[in-house]
A and B are shown apart, each in its own frame.
Chain A
Amino acid sequence: MKNHRMRILAASMLLLAAPVITHADTLSDIKARGVLTVGVKNDYPPYGYMDNNGNTVGFEISLARYIANELLGSPDKIKLVPVNASNRMQFLNSGQIDIIMATLGVTPDRAKQIDFTDEYVSAAGPSILARKEVKFTQWEQLKGQKICGIQGSYFNKTVTEKYGLQLVNFTALPEAYRALQDNRCVAMVFDDMSLQNKLKEPGWSDYKIAVKPYEYLPMAGGLRKGDDAFRAAVDKAIVKAEGEDKLIGWEKEFDMPPSPYIAKRAEAARAAAK
């Protein structure tokens, strides 16, 4: 009896988790549907966040709208689906979204599961947010220290193995920030851009970026594997936007420090167009 029940349980788990078989021609699908479904962040300024009117805006949202305009003729033929770091690849591979544009860093591990579009941003990796009084300035000084973090961050394994951080990982950012303010951790590790933005908020004047990022990581859109026609169309739109200096414009619009990487991409796109 018990055996039988276990077998049913195992079988239903398999069914639940089995990737939905989608045929790899998203481009004609979205043209037939007339809408591009994009997985975005809505809690991550400047890339994707809610403005005071409750609209999702940001650097990546503008780029997604530009792509929708290129593919479907209108920046409004788009459906924005909020995703987070730990569920976005499942959303993509189960067919609930067509493309991830949600601060997705390009890593070899992820490349085994999904395809990437052209890289459009080079983002600083993790840095360390801590109280102003702390003395440490180097990653090497954090060995064995209790550091708050977020489950699903791409750098968790690296900082554990390479720098020996003792990570205390929360599922969501508000809890992690709360725990840091309660002094449950000596510091918090997260994407540099996000932490920099946190420092601008009221109530965070006693904190600083104590340790600078150890790496920079290109960010790109994420697509299902082998969806080549769709990828070519999206890449074409991204390069076009770069050549028109749109990304530099959004950089200014969303209050990002000017990045040499984006300027260089714009130049390359213009050179290629000639």
Chain B
Amino acid sequence: MFGLDFSWLLDPTYQQWLLQGVLQTLELAALSSAFAIVIGLLGAFCLTFRLAWLDASIELFVELFRNTPPLLQMLFFYFTLTQIGFTTEDPVTGLQVPLISAFMSATVSLSLFGGALCIEAFRSGFDAVPKATLEAARSLGYTRWGLFRHVQVPIASRICLPPLTNVLTNLFKTTSQASVITVPELMYAAGQIYNDTFRTLEVMLLILVIYVVLVSLVVWLIGWVQRALAYPGYGA
């Protein structure tokens, strides 16, 4: 069909590059999603205290990491930190080597970027918890932490699952930018292979399909959580 040639898929070197690419993409996406959710929950929790200085610092964090390109953040963590002295001595060679690897640079920058988006998603969830419910809980004698754990989180998490789906699928796709700082994820593997075989169209089609499948899995997974947690009146 259309003269497509997928014979390069039989080459063990390319297979290995692709496999490594998929694994690195999954690893990067899983780690940065987990950190992003933790950052999001922490940030949104802090916002519930309504402390001016805390609100301002979280606001600053969100503005900084949500409003700058993730690619720029990645390059910053990869190159700039080393330039300003984030280095350590290699015990074998005695040379100053960068403190964080390419994979770590990508994980850190994606976690912070995703975290900023998660804070917003969770904040919208917390804001949507009815005031009357909170007052009712307070009058029953819930402590501040108890209120958060037993009332706010259960209700808010159900409300913010749909926006969270957007954030996490976006984060998953943004992992492809780690190829620029040489993290051998899926996009990097694709670049290696089409530069070698010149079968740009075929390689692009294949990784398009792989991304669609992987991101669909993420969507399905969150959808499953959403259905499992569902109760009438809140969220889906």
Q: Tell me which residues across on chain B come within 8 A of A18, comparing CB atoms.
A: 2, 201
Is residue B182 within 8 Å, beta carbon to beta carbon, of the partner chain?
yes
Q: Tell me which residues across on chain B come within 8 A of A264, comparing CB atoms.
A: none
Cβ A170 vs Cβ B182 within 8 A? yes
Q: Tell me which residues across on chain B come within 8 A of A170, comparing CB atoms.
A: 182
Q: Tell me which residues across on chain A come within 8 A of B87, comparing CB atoms.
A: 182
Is residue A156 within 8 Å, beta carbon to beta carbon, of the partner chain?
yes
Cβ B96 vs Cβ A183 within 8 A? yes
Is residue B57 within 8 Å, beta carbon to beta carbon, of the partner chain?
no
Is residue B128 within 8 Å, beta carbon to beta carbon, of the partner chain?
no
Partner of A157, one of B97, B196, B200, B205: B196
Q: Tell me which residues across on chain A come within 8 A of B204, comparing CB atoms.
A: 13, 17
Is residue A184 within 8 Å, beta carbon to beta carbon, of the partner chain?
yes
Is residue A271 within 8 Å, beta carbon to beta carbon, of the partner chain?
no
Instruction: List 4 additional contacts besides A151-B191, A171-B180; criterion CB under 8 Å.
Output: A9-B208, A10-B205, A17-B201, A110-B198
**8 A Cβ contacts from B141-197 to A:** 180, 182, 188, 191-192, 195-197
Is residue A160 within 8 Å, beta carbon to beta carbon, of the partner chain?
yes
Nearest CB in chain B to that of A182: its residue: B82
Partner of B79, one of A9, A113, A169, A182: A182
When A17-B200, A113-B198, A183-B95 are in contact, do A178 and B2 touch as well, CB less than 8 Å? no
Is residue A32 within 8 Å, beta carbon to beta carbon, of the partner chain?
no
When A160-B13, A161-B13 are in contact, do A151 and B200 touch as well, CB less than 8 Å? no
Nearest CB in chain B to that of A148: its residue: B182
Nearest CB in chain B to that of A169: its residue: B182
**8 A Cβ contacts from A87-135 to B:** 89-90, 109-110, 113, 131, 133
Q: Tell me which residues across on chain A come within 8 A of B205, comparing CB atoms.
A: 10, 13
Indicate with 1 or 0, residue by residue over A159-182, a CB within 8 angstroms of chain B CB atoms. 011000000111100010011001
Is residue A205 within 8 Å, beta carbon to beta carbon, of the partner chain?
no
**8 A Cβ contacts from A34-66 to B:** none
Cβ B95 vs Cβ A169 within 8 A? no
Q: Tell me which residues across on chain A come within 8 A of B13, comparing CB atoms.
A: 157, 160-161
